[in-house]
Structure 1
């Protein structure tokens, strides 16, 4: 895979995190979207500003795991940004001045290119393992790591 050049001020690691194997992850399916390199929204908020058809294609062996999900329900998708660099530790984001460490950003450029988005289920076909979603900010075919229900009592921070 060809990598995009680092921007001024960005810092590359002296090793490739992709060669470090501490655990194994099974992709549970793939995310289908109209997006490809060059036209993908930068985040889920921007994805919702653009009308698109997006859905999850779950591994057929795992369709029973959809039991209990409902159309209209909010879920959290955790996905593997498989076409990104993993060796940038300090970035120069376009949306802010100066450089920032990767752990202070939601950029896909990170040692483990995990991303997450809260989405709403728009359709559900458990027999085929397809779950329609309201929007997504990743390339077509992005591997899906997990689906979790969004639960306000867990996912909202308490007022201080």
Structure 2
């Protein structure tokens, strides 16, 4: 297998005013025009999962109602062979000069390395009829409605 090296372009910071991303000075010019979008796709590195010695490829019932076992590639677990994660986040503001991006929400820890940012573009990113498996078909159909969903009911105690 060929190895590759990914260099973070910034990091997540959780503040009392909400989450933001601090972008490295060398990458800030790449933020020009991003503020025209309402949503972005953030690719991040689950740095706390890095080096998990024996990342299981099959997980025992990670969700209520799911099959008894699921392969890691059928889950959103950060514990995976390459702990790369992705979040679609609401863009609340961009300051190119300061290198900051304010977000409505992001599901990663303070200090999480950001690997890439892309504008959310429905032409490429939206699937009109995703047809999820029956065990998760009752989950929210959009990020806008997922905040009000009882996610505790999905994960085993």
Q: State the number of aligned residues.
A: 125
> 2:14 matched to 1:33?
yes
Residue segments in structure 2 that go unaligned for 5+ positions in a row:
131-157
Q: Is the 8 A contact 1:72 1:122 kept in 2?
A: no
> Partner of 1:115 in structure 2?
85
> 2:118 matched to 1:137?
no
Deviation of residue 73 (structure 1)? 1.6
Deviation of residue 158 (structure 1)? 5.2
Distance 2:17 2:32 in 1: 26
> 2:126 matched to 1:156?
yes
Q: What is the TM-score when the length of structure 2 is the normalising length?
A: 0.72
> Partner of 2:3 in structure 1?
22
Deviation of residue 156 (structure 1)? 1.6
> Stretches of 4+ moved more than 2 A in 1?
94-97, 157-160
> Partner of 2:73 in structure 1?
103
TM-aligned CA distance change 1:159 to 1:103, over 3 Å: closer
Residue segments in structure 1 that go unaligned for 5+ positions in a row:
1-19, 35-50
Q: What is the TM-score when the length of structure 1 is the normalising length?
A: 0.70
| Aligned equivalent of 2:47, options 82, 104, 108 | 82
Q: Is the 8 A contact 1:33 1:136 kept in 2?
A: no
TM-aligned CA distance change 1:158 to 1:138, over 3 Å: closer
